[in-house]
Each structure stands twice: as structure tokens, then as C-alpha cells.
Amino acid sequence: MTPLIDPFLRPISYLRVSVTDRCDFRCVYCMSENMTFLPKKDLLTLEELDRLCSSFVRLGVEKLRITGGEPLVRRDIMTFFRAMTRHLDSGALKELTVTTNGSQLERFAQPLWDAGVRRINVSLDTLDEKKFADITRWGRLPQVLRGIDAAQAAGLRVKLNAVALKGFNEDELFSMTEWCASRNIDLTWIEVMPMGDIGNEDRLGQYWPLKELRATLGQQYTLTDLAERTGGPARYVRLEETGQKIGFITPLTHNFCESCNRVRLTCTGELFMCLGQEDNADLRAPLRNHPGSDDVLEQTIRDAIARKPKGHDFDYSRQAVDGRVSRHMSHTGG
């Protein structure tokens, strides 16, 4: 079968799948406090998610990342993970992984390992309990830390994803680095992105460029650039003093689009070919209108990939948030 190749000759081998827009936190840069969630009838069923992901695997996708909202709050989600195990067993799928807020990991870490998950990303922006409660609005840090313990005990490789927020976690740069080093956990910093209406929060005021963060890190550590890539947008350095790996995801100060091999599927079946563009393809209609055959679905996927743009338009450089997109990150998939 002909693999998925976009107009810029980039093979599409990585699918990020949002399985729900719901979350048990309300992080201030991601959601408004009183979110209106999608009607459940609009969401793809677990069987539909299986059929869609299986189609992408047939078309050459080798990495699936399951996201949300918070994916582990979706009812019976382990049914879906166990279904995807067959693609790992066949060798068609090289990696099945999860991005989570960690709140449910104490319960799900071992079942995830049993389903073939070997790496997880935990979104965690602070190790200060009060600040954590403030930024997540509803979150409890001890619950997340117990989840990380459970994940490591199950054998999962843990990476922390921290959003760089000016005036919030700048003062934790070194303490978070040291905590991760002590736990053999990799750490990736992410620039805050202009996704969705979050009420009174100020995107520009939150924005902490990672070139500043990196320069500050370089005051205490020797940073060696690494050629290594994990299929995502992060660029990595090694801290020579600790041996740990630090990643930087910089959609604003350094556009990483030239090597993009990813597309994103929302929990309602919209395929976004670029996180920072509004163009999308409806996969729910061919999925539901043609239950007996995947031919129309797979052609719709191919037609969508043929429209994948060269890159996004996020830009904070003119003291205004340009390239903003209206949908929340929880809808597209974090």
C-alpha cells in the first residue's frame, strides 16, 4: 500500500489521537475554568477510534500518541489500548504512547505497561504544591507524584513536559532539573501556544522564550546539542554534569515545521494536518456512513494529507499574538 506522503515529501508516520476533550484539571493556559464539553454523541466511540487508528497504521503510521483532555479519564479507555496491542505485536506499530496529567497513573500504570506502552509524557509545570493547585485550578500534586512513582515502578520511561511560564516557574528551572536528574526522568520545556479562549489569562504575559531559559540553564550546566529526535518536535541537549536529556519545543522562537511527520485526530474525528492551522478533514462522516468498508475513509485521509501545509503561523514577535487558532488545546489533543 502506498504510504502517506505530504506535498513537501514528508512521510506521515506519527498520529496524535485525542480520545476525549474532558479533563480532571483546568490548567490556566489550556482551558477556561467553566468549560463546556462536547456532547458525548459527537465523540468517536472506542470502536471507531480503533477503526480509524488501524486505518492509519495500514497507511504507514508507526507511532500513536494518545492524548486528551486527559485520556485516562475516558471510560473504558484500556479497552482501546488493549486493542492497539495487536498492531504492536504484528510489528506494524512501532510505538504506542500517552501524554497524561498523571492524575490517574497510580491506577493505570501497570495496565498501560501490559498493553505495550513503554514511554509516557507527564505534563507537570511545577513541583510546588500551592502553585500546582493554582495553575491546574483543580489538581492535587501528591496524587500526580504517586502516579509518577507507579509509572516508574511498572517500568515505564517517564518524561516531564513543562510549559515555560514567565513569572510562574522561572524560579524552578534548576530545582525541577535537579529533581528530574535524581529520578532519571527526562524533561522537556514547551513554549506556551496561542490555543483557544482562556478567559482573562494573558498569553503574551505568560510567554517565556526558551532561548532565555536555555541561556539561564547554561549558566550552571554545560549543554551539548544532541542530534537525537524522538519523532516529535523537540530538540535535545545533554547536561554534561548530570548526563540527563533536556528537550526544547519552540513553536514560536524556532519554527520546527520543516521535519513535521505528524497529524492530529480530535476526539470528534477531525483530522488536523497542522496544529497551528484551522484546515481539517472530517473523518467521522466516512467512518459512520460506510461501516462495511474503509476505502472511502482511507481516500479521505489521503486527500487530507495532500493538503498538509508547510508550517504554522504562530508568532509573538510583534508584541501581539499572531497566528492564533480558536480551538482549545484540549479539543485538538495536547
Residues flagged as binding site for S-adenosyl-L-methionine: 29, 69, 123, 193
Please spell the DSSP secondary structure of 195-258, one letter per residue: BS--TT--HHHHB--HHHHHHHHTTTS-EEEE----SSS-EEEEETTT--EEEEE-TTTS--GG
Annotated binding site for GTP: 16, 65, 99, 159, 262-264
Annotated binding site for [4Fe-4S] cluster: 23, 27, 30, 257, 260, 274
CA dist., res. 250 & res. 264, Å (int):
18
Annotated binding site: 16, 23, 27, 29-30, 65, 69, 99, 123, 159, 193, 257, 260, 262-264, 274
Q: What is the DSSP letter of 109?
A: H
Count H helices, E strands: the chain? 11, 12
Contact of 29 with 78, CB cutoff 8 Å: no
Q: Which residue has the cell 503574551?
A: 204
Cβ within 8 Å of residue 176, ≥6 positions away: 126, 127, 160, 162, 169, 187
Q: Which residue has the cell 479562549?
A: 197
For 125, the grid coordinates are: 509545570
